[in-house]
């Protein structure tokens, strides 16, 4: 006895910068995620579909795509939660990043801007010295801790309007990392980090729309961190100690 | 420009209203200064302009400008708070309140002009 | 320079906020029963208070508007760099000149 399963029509971006949406009919299943849908299409309907995933359990951020216009992790997005009464599902690669093919975006600019914001730690001690003490309860450490869970998934970058309209803007993730370093007692080059983060295309380009906060799957708040960077850069400008 | 439904959150609306009102006000300002500068040519010249501005379309434009100014100031105050005071949340309630206050300011102007 | 522009923008905003509040209240009050030059100039002519108030208003606005527009030019028109900055500086100077002229006009009658 064969049941005829209800199907879901999904439109998926094919191509690169130029391309089109292609429609597929996918069996509807309870609790299916958008990643399940994409996986079904690639395995059963069109093996040429390019997409990216890894852990499939909401830890790595690799499966981030644009789902019905919104950047999200597809492994943590239930189809029922994002499709409306018409049952439409449209999947595209992340916004504001070059497209390699189909749903796979090129993360290179994202990571280049990370480096440009000096989002890398500079140590102050070697293994021959005692570890730098860090008080976990200190307010600055708490501020840093609030931002360090970033796994570089790119969702905030894709959600940000300034990223979309200003190619120089470093973006919320890179600046969030700079903010965590500014609050890290172990960071040896805070002046360098601040200079990089407050330069042209840096924190002052943020207009506090808050789309990054709206969309971050880990619940981080780059807007608040960037506001902190703005305050620090003002302090540095008037000769205060940062 | 129109974002999909899920991208339409109040923070974005506030930013867009802030920007649009700012651009329109910036365009208007030189004309405002020029009109006031007519006083140099004497009271009668300024009166001539004011008489011209007594038509309905101009009054509607004035209402618009008053509302835009209120929108811009209130949205800007929210940004100042978000940037300089300790972060609590995105204060989205302020966006709604700001919209209401700005509309009320515009209405007060209209009422004052008409009554 | 970014930090300096940011400071100028936020500082001018703080100056403008109370001035705008007064200005809005004034507009709502003044428009009642129509507006004539005599009513305006009767209050502003020879008044150092209004000269100071609106002089400050003009200066703050001449700083605030170009910096705000700078972002709009870059993000919505893709116009950035020295040319854009010069155009904006010119706009700011124009606002300052026209504005201070207007202030002088209504407080002293001299252009």
Q: Are A94 and A71 in contact (CB under 8 A)?
A: yes
Note the pLDDT tens digit of each residue in A145-189. Answer: 999 999 999 999 999 999 999 999 999 999 999 999 999 999 999
Inspect the interface and report whether the beta carbons of A209 and B5 lie closer than 8 Å.
no
Note the pLDDT tens digit of each residue in A198-220. Answer: 999 999 999 999 999 999 999 99
Note the pLDDT tens digit of each residue in C2-26. Answer: 899 999 999 999 999 999 999 999 9
Angstrom distances, CA of residue A35 to CA of A63, A72, A73? 7, 11, 8
pLDDT of residue B74: 96
pLDDT of residue C31: 87
Report the residue from A82, A208, A214 with minimal CB separation from B83. Answer: A208
pLDDT of residue C74: 95
Q: Which two tokens stand for residue B58?
A: 């101009």
The fold of C2-107 is 3 helical TM bundles of succinate and fumarate reductases (1.20.1300)
- What is the pTM assigned to this prediction? 0.92
What percent of chain A has pLDDT above 90? 90
> Does residue A79 register a pLDDT over 70?
yes
For range C64-85, the mean pLDDT: 95
Residue C79 gets which letter from DSSP?
-
Inspect the interface and report whether the beta carbons of A234 and C7 lie closer than 8 Å.
yes
Axis-axis angle for helices A222-237, A190-197 (nearest 10) = 110
Contacts of residue A234 in chain C, CB cutoff 8 Å?
3, 6-7
Instruction: Return residues 60-89 of C near A (CB < 8 Å).
Output: 71, 74-76, 80
Inspect the interface and report whether the beta carbons of A237 and C74 lie closer than 8 Å.
no
pLDDT of residue B58: 87
Q: Which residue of A has its CA nearest to B16?
A: A209
Angstrom distances, CA of residue A216 to CA of A112, A169, A187? 20, 18, 25
C6 close contact with A: CB closer than 8 A = yes
C2, C7, C79: which to substitute to probe chain A, counting the most A Cβ within 10 Å? C2
Q: Are A155 and A216 in contact (CB under 8 A)?
A: yes
Note the pLDDT tens digit of each residue in B11-22. Answer: 999 999 999 999
> Does residue A233 register a pLDDT over 80?
yes
Report the residue from A69, A207, A227 with minimal CB separation from B15. Answer: A207
Q: Where are the domains of chain C?
A: 2-107
Phi, psi of A202 (to 5 degrees): -95, -145
Kindly write down the DSSP assignment for every residue of chain A, as one continuous string.
------EEEEEEEEESSSEEEEEEEEE--TT-BHHHHHHHIIIII-TT-----SSSSSSS-TTEEEETTEEEEGGG-BHHHH--TT--EEEEPPTTS-EEETTEE--HHHHHHHHHTT-S------TTSPPPP--TTSHHHHHHHTTTT-----HHHHH-HHHHH-TT---HHHHHHHHHHHT-TT-S-HHHHHHHHTSTTSGGG-----HHHHH-TT---HHHHHHHHHHHHHHHHTT---
> Does residue B102 register a pLDDT over 90?
yes
Q: Which residue of A has its CA nearest to C71?
A: A205
Inspect the interface and report whether the beta carbons of C65 and B29 lie closer than 8 Å.
yes
pLDDT of residue B8: 67
What percent of chain A has pLDDT above 70? 99
> Does residue A143 register a pLDDT over 70?
yes
Contacts of residue C6 in chain A, CB cutoff 8 Å?
204, 230, 233-234
What percent of chain C has pLDDT above 90? 73
B81, B83, B95: which to substitute to probe chain A, counting the most A Cβ within 10 Å? B83
pLDDT of residue A1: 46
> Does residue A2 register a pLDDT over 60?
no
In sequence order, which residues have a C-beta less than 8 Å from that of residue B55 and are 6 or more positions away?
A: none
Note the pLDDT tens digit of each residue in A32-49. Answer: 999 999 999 999 999 999
pLDDT of residue B80: 96
Contacts of residue C104 in chain B, CB cutoff 8 Å?
40
Inspect the interface and report whether the beta carbons of C105 and B47 lie closer than 8 Å.
no
For range A88-104, the mean pLDDT: 96
> Does residue C59 register a pLDDT over 80?
yes
Top-tier CATH class for B13-114:
mainly alpha
Gap between the Cα atoms of B77 and A55, Å rounded: 43
For range B29-49, the mean pLDDT: 86
Gap between the Cα atoms of A215 and B112, Å rounded: 44
Q: Are B58 and C13 in contact (CB under 8 A)?
A: no
C47 burial level (CB within 10 Å; 0-12, 13-18, 19+): middle
Instruction: Return residues 45-104 of B near A (CB < 8 Å).
Output: 79, 82-84, 87, 90
* ipTM for this model: 0.91
For range C82-86, the mean pLDDT: 96
A69 close contact with B: CB closer than 8 A = yes
Task: Share the mean pLDDT of chain A.
Answer: 94
Report the residue from A166, A198, A230 with minimal CB separation from C74. Answer: A166
Domains of chain A, CATH where assigned: 7-105 (3.10.20.30), 108-237 (1.10.1060.10)
Q: Are A93 and A185 in contact (CB under 8 A)?
A: no
Inspect the interface and report whether the beta carbons of A236 and C3 lie closer than 8 Å.
yes
Contacts of residue C4 in chain A, CB cutoff 8 Å?
237
pLDDT of residue B2: 47
Spatial CA neighbour of A28 closest among A86, A80, A91, A103: A80
* Strand residues in C17-100 grouped as ranges (E): none
Inspect the interface and report whether the beta carbons of B84 and A227 lie closer than 8 Å.
yes
Inspect the interface and report whether the beta carbons of A204 and C7 lie closer than 8 Å.
no
For range A224-230, the mean pLDDT: 97
Instruction: Return residues 85-104 of B near C (CB < 8 Å).
Output: none
Selected residue with higher pLDDT from B115 and C94: C94
Contacts of residue A68 in chain B, CB cutoff 8 Å?
4, 6
> Does residue C105 register a pLDDT over 60?
yes
Report the residue from B22, B23, B69 with minimal CB separation from C20. Answer: B69
Q: Which two tokens stand for residue C17?
A: 């906020």
C2 close contact with A: CB closer than 8 A = yes
For range B26-34, the mean pLDDT: 94
Contacts of residue A223 in chain B, CB cutoff 8 Å?
82, 87, 90
For range B62-67, the mean pLDDT: 93
> Does residue A237 register a pLDDT over 60?
yes
Band of residue B87 on the pLDDT scale cut at 50, 70, 90: confident
Report the residue from B29, B105, B115 with minimal CB separation from C24. Answer: B105
């Amino acid at each position: 006895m064969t049941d005829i399963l209800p199907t879901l029509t999904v439109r998926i971006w094919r191509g690169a910068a130029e391309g089109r949406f292609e429609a597929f009919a996918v069996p509807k299943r309870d609790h299916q995620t958008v990643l399940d849908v994409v996986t079904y299409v690639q395995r059963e309907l069109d093996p040429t579909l390019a997409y990216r995933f890894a852990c499939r359990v909401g830890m790595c951020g690799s499966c981030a795509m644009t789902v019905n216009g919104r950047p999200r992790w597809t492994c943590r997005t239930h189809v029922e939660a994002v499709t409306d009464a018409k049952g439409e599902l449209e999947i595209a690669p992340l916004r504001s990043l070059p497209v390699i093919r189909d749903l796979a975006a090129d993360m290179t600019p994202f990571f280049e801007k990370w480096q440009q914001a000096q989002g890398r730690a500079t140590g102050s001690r070697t293994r021959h010295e005692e570890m730098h003490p860090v008080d976990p309860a200190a307010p600055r450490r708490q501020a840093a801790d609030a931002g360090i869970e970033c796994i570089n998934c790119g969702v905030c970058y894709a959600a940000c309007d300034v990223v979309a309209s200003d190619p120089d803007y470093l973006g919320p993730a890179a600046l969030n990392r700079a903010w965590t370093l500014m609050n890290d007692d172990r960071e040896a080059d805070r002046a360098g980090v601040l200079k990089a983060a407050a330069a042209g295309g840096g924190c002052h380009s943020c207009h506090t729309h808050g789309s990054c906060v709206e969309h971050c799957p880990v619940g981080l708040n780059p807007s608040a961190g960037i506001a902190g960077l703005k305050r620090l850069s003002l302090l540095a400008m008037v000769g205060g100690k940062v | 420009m129109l974002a999909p439904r899920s991208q339409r959150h109040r923070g974005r609306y506030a930013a867009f209203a802030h920007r649009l009102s700012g651009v329109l006000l910036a365009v208007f300002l030189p004309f405002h200064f020029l009109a006031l500068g007519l006083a140099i040519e004497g009271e009668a010249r300024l009166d001539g302009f004011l008489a011209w501005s007594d038509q309905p379309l101009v009054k509607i434009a004035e209402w618009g400008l008053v509302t835009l100014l209120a929108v811009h100031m209130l949205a800007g105050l929210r940004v100042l708070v978000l940037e300089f005071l300790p972060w609590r949340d995105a204060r989205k309630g302020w966006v709604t309140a700001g919209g209401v206050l700005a509309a009320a300011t515009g209405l007060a102007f209209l009422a004052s002009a008409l009554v | 320079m970014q930090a300096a522009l940011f400071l100028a923008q936020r500082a001018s905003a703080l100056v403008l906020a109370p001035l705008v509040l007064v200005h809005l209240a004034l507009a709502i009050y003044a428009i009642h029963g129509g507006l004539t030059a005599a009513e305006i100039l009767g209050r502003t002519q020879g008044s150092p208070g209004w000269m100071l108030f609106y002089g400050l208003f003009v200066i703050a606005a001449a700083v605030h508007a170009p910096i705000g527009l700078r972002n709009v030019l870059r993000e919505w028109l893709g116009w950035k760099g020295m040319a854009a900055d010069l155009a904006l500086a010119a706009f700011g100077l124009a606002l300052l000149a026209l504005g201070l002229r207007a202030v002088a006009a209504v407080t002293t009658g001299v252009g």
